[in-house]
Amino acid sequence: MHDVKFGWLSPVIGNRWSDHQPIVVHQERHVLPEALPHFDSLWVADHFYGFDARTDPFMEAWTTLTWLAAKFDRVMLCHHVLGVGYRPPALTAKMAATLQTLSGGRFALGIGAGWRSDEYRAYGYDFPRPSVRFAQLEEALEICRLMWTEDHPSFAGEHFAIDGASAPPLPDPPPRICIGASGERYGLPLAGRRADMWNGSMHGGPEAWAARRDIVRASAEAAGRDPGAIEITATVERPLPSSDSESAALLEELAGLHRLGVTHFVMDFGHPKSAEPALRFAEQVAAPLRAA
């Protein structure tokens, strides 16, 4: 059984609501020092440019998470989530091993098959069909686990290969793997086979989400794994509560998700200007749900 946890997703974008300044920079200075002691994890997205305009600032994910790791020395660190096609898998494995070591074992590798085709093509990366991207992701995960545990790992797959790709110092412990996926045909079965954590989309409502959860669990069982060992995370995009009644409504919503199996809530609060509403969330929402 997993304890209830709360993650803070810090937006790395700068847009018209933040005067085109990266929100994560504001939060690092004015919000996170007071808010993060009440949270278990810190997450940042992996994209290269904005969604409203390509000229909107958008901070690179690895650099930003490493910067935050040095600023905040207690919380777990995870990407939400890396696109497997943005970096060679051996490089991803080496970067993950390094951040795991530098952070004292607080890093989890959040990764998925990627979805933003325009971004892939703008940067000159191939964007194959979903079956290929998920096959690439599975091979990338195999490479990561080999490079984190063996001194002279080798691997030859259909899409990727390594030959003695050492990654010293080997991370101890190896990072946990969080797979972000919602597709019933490829992504969810892969999460069941390979993930330590699964981050799923809430689109379609509770029944659709529960069906996706069941696919993950069934795939884990078919692979000879304990489905209960997979930590279930869900991203919830809501403003911070500004009143007792808003806190009560959000607590009820999250309690419903917890009954569906979610134990790690990745909260996207947008762009709060101060830590005060985050402290209200910690007292009126997070604490009662942890206690329950």
Q: For the chain, give the number of residues.
A: 292
Q: How far is CA 204 from CA 29, 264, 280, 283, in A?
A: 36, 19, 29, 30
pLDDT value of position 1: 63
Reference 178, options 110, 270, 247; nearest CA is 110
Q: 56 near 17, Cβ under 8 Å?
A: no
pLDDT in 10s for each residue of the chain, 292 residues: 689 999 999 999 998 888 999 999 999 999 999 999 999 999 999 999 999 889 999 999 999 999 999 999 999 999 999 999 999 999 999 999 999 999 999 999 999 999 999 999 999 999 999 999 999 999 999 999 999 999 999 999 999 999 999 999 999 999 999 999 999 999 999 999 999 999 987 888 889 999 999 999 999 999 999 999 999 999 999 999 999 999 999 999 999 999 999 999 999 999 999 999 999 999 999 999 999 8
- Beta strand ranges found along 133-173 (DSSP E): 154-156, 161-163
Q: How far apart are CA 285 and CA 279, in angstroms?
A: 10
Within 8 A by CB and 6+ apart from 262, the residues are: 232, 233, 234, 254
Within 8 A by CB and 6+ apart from 96, the residues are: 107, 109, 144, 148, 171, 175
Q: How far is CA 47 from CA 54, 67, 72, in A?
A: 11, 17, 22
- 52, containing H or E segment: none
Residues facing residue 8 across a β-bridge: 42, 267
Q: What is the pTM of this model?
A: 0.96
pLDDT value of position 202: 83
208: amino acid identity, one letter:
A
Interior angle at CA 192, CA 189 and CA 195, nearest 5: 120
- In order of their start, the domains of the chain are 5-291 (3.20.20.30)
Q: Any idea what DSSP says for residue 284?
A: I
Q: Any idea what DSSP says for residue 75?
A: S
